[in-house]
Structure 1
Amino acid sequence: MLKDKIKELRKEMGLTQEEFASKLEISRSYYCDIERGRLKGTNVKIISKLSDVTGKPMEYFLDKDVEVKQYDILDSALNMLIEKGLINSDGEITDETSRNIVMEILKKEIQLKIKSRE
């Protein structure tokens, strides 16, 4: 489960909840809710940050026991990029960094799709 994975990684990294939350750019209370398993669903921003901070692939943080709805991660990522103005009203990605993010997430979605068929 996500809560177990992040707690274990936080301890391996020798970080307090406050320090780990800071690295993830979230509040300590929000982090504690994740670590206690109070939050459900897939939040691409958190999964992506966890991946960046810990060096683990995004798939590591996705429970194998919980079915991820097709395109959930891509949908969340696109919403985030639209909200930040990195995808314009014509659907164009406004910079190379955003393009790379979308392509990486699309790759992950494809990998999840392939794994779900195995």
Structure 2
Amino acid sequence: MGKFGFVNYDEQRMEKSGVRGILNQREAHIGVKIRNLRKKMGWTQEELAYRAQIDTSYLGQIERGKKRSPTIRIIGKIADALSVDSSLLLEPSESASTNAWEEREIFNIPEQVAHELKRSSFEEQMMYYKILQVIRQFMH
């Protein structure tokens, strides 16, 4: 049923053709990836929502696959907050093996470091810089 009690024929066609199921699976896999990355960072939904500048309940709906088709802008905000490329969240689960995820995350290290530095105070940035200088001395 549509908004006003009328039958929505597009919805019916999508249900019969199986397209609705495919879309629901896509939305669910995005949510699972977001939840897994969020937990890997040790963040609560509230913290990720704050960093992505979106509503916590909206993020919860996305993670549970209940929010239909989050916009690319929202996916981009979440990806930026997690310091990953948004394509990581959008690609189908079956093509994203664990190794591909790990390789992509390694390539995002400079972005992750830059993102972390932007959120840090000047004092923390100076501390990170000094630590990096010490590490460089030991490596050369």
2:90 corresponds to:
62
- 1:2: how far off? 0.6
Distance 1:36 1:42 in 2: 12
Distance 1:46 1:60 in 2: 14
2:69 corresponds to:
41
Distance 1:44 1:31 in 2: 14
Larger gyration radius, structure 1 or structure 2: 2
2:62–2:70 contact (8 Å) kept in structure 1:
no
* Unpaired segments ≥5 residues, structure 1: 66-118
Distance 2:41 2:92 in 1: 24
Aligned length: 65
- 1:48: how far off? 1.0
Distance 1:12 1:35 in 2: 14
Pair 1:10-2:17 in alignment: no
| Residues 29-108 of structure 1 mapped to structure 2, 5 A cutoff | 29-64=57-92
Q: Please report the TM-score for the alignment, with normalisation by the length of structure 1.
A: 0.50
Distance 1:18 1:2 in 2: 18
Structure 1 outlier segments of 4+, above 3 Å: none
- 1:50: how far off? 2.0
Structure number with the higher helix fraction is 2
RMSD: 1.5
| Residues 17-32 of structure 1 mapped to structure 2, 5 A cutoff | 17-32=45-60
- 1:42: how far off? 4.4
Q: Tell me which amino acid in the other structure corresponds to 1:33.
A: Q
Distance 2:66 2:91 in 1: 15
- 1:63: how far off? 3.8
Distance 1:42 1:15 in 2: 21
What secondary structure is seen at the aligned counterpart in 1 of 2:42? coil
Q: Please report the TM-score for the alignment, with normalisation by the length of structure 2.
A: 0.43
